[in-house]
Amino acid sequence: MALDPQLLEILACPDTHHAPLTYDADAQTLTCTQCGRIFEVRDDVPVLLLDEARGGPGQAS
């Protein structure tokens, strides 16, 4: 099951810049358009926790 398009419209990076996220349905990830952090989608639920994100400022992808 894919994420609801209306949900995707309102989701934003949880960091202070609150940039939009792009959804990769095949990889089941959301990527911040500003900082590049990658957030997993588990069981159709976006995990928007900075501590669990991959990549981004100062981190290796």
| pLDDT tens column, 20-32 | 999 999 999 999 9
Contact 1, 17 (CB under 8 A): no
Question: What pTM, to 2 d.p., does this model score?
Answer: 0.88
Tokens, residue 31? 């990527």
Composition of the chain by helix, strand, coil, percent to 5: 15, 30, 55
Q: Any residues with CB less than 8 A from the CB of 16 and at least 6 apart, and which?
A: none
Is 7 a residue whose pLDDT tops 50? Answer: yes
Largest CA distance in the chain: 33
Tokens, residue 46? 């976006």
